[in-house]
Amino acid sequence: MASSTSHPTTRPVRAVRVEVHGTVQGVGFRPHVYRLAGAHGLSGDVRNVDGHVVINASGSANQVTVFLAELVASAPPAARVRDVLVRETATAAPRLGPGFSVDVSTRGDPAPAGSGVPSVPADLSTCPACVRELFDPTDRRYRYPFLNCTDCGPRATIVDDLPYDRQRTAMAGWSAPKIPDRGSDMIFVWNGDEHGATEASLFAGVSR
């Protein structure tokens, strides 16, 4: 009698390198990518490079396809995406280990022809969520004068250079204080909020 061996069904794996150009720094785009990749079970990383955002992502072909479709469709309100450049990469790339991370910003990555001039985000008026927190006596940010989040607050008037990070803004001379969150995590006060996950909070291990 002939014997048969069953083989587990494997899903096609797809790995991509994505460049997102436009107004995509200082507007919560990295936290957006982080949450979206986690929701679709992707591995990889995201970082600011010069004036754009670079994403390395891998997962099942369907997961990556849906991720790319939602990348712009559900982008943060203040983001203005001009171009999205997708390049297929080797699925066995060592950098694409388990999990997804927000990497340290880098400089010097040559922008492709036609990608345009890097865009600095404009100052954003206080958003409704921050206004509610500002005037809520029960909120720990009640009447806090520097309240802002990824959807509002100063941008162009405080940034010195790109990529957009604290050390290249007017806040570079002040350390980022930490305070206990309502849970066990710690979050940064500057640019910290709960209604829009911040780039600062992601580096502190908070992925709200």
Average pLDDT of 120-136? 88
Contact 92, 14 (CB under 8 A): no
Q: Is the C-alpha dihedral spanning 35, 36, 41, 42 positive or negative?
A: negative
Domain 120-208: CATH architecture, name and number where available: Alpha-Beta Complex (3.90)
- CATH number for the domain running over 13-102: 3.30.70.100
Tokens representing 129 are 């969520």
Contact 22, 81 (CB under 8 A): yes
> Looking at 55-69, 79-93, 163-177, which range is the least confident one?
163-177
Rounded Cα distance between 115 and 144, Å, is: 39
pLDDT over 60 (residue 207)? no
**Residues belonging to the chain:** 208
DSSP class of residue 121? P
11-20, 59-68, 137-146: which has the highest mean pLDDT? 59-68
pTM comes to: 0.69
Domain boundaries, the chain: 13-102, 120-208
Identify the band that residue 204 occupies on the pLDDT scale cut at 50, 70 and 90. very low
Q: What is the pLDDT of residue 137?
A: 94
Rounded Cα distance between 183 and 167, Å, is: 28
Which position has the higher pLDDT, 117 or 134? 134
Which position has the higher pLDDT, 26 or 206? 26
Contact 20, 30 (CB under 8 A): no
Q: Give me the residue label for tokens 């999205």.
A: 84
Q: What is the pLDDT of residue 148?
A: 83
pLDDT over 90 (residue 2)? no
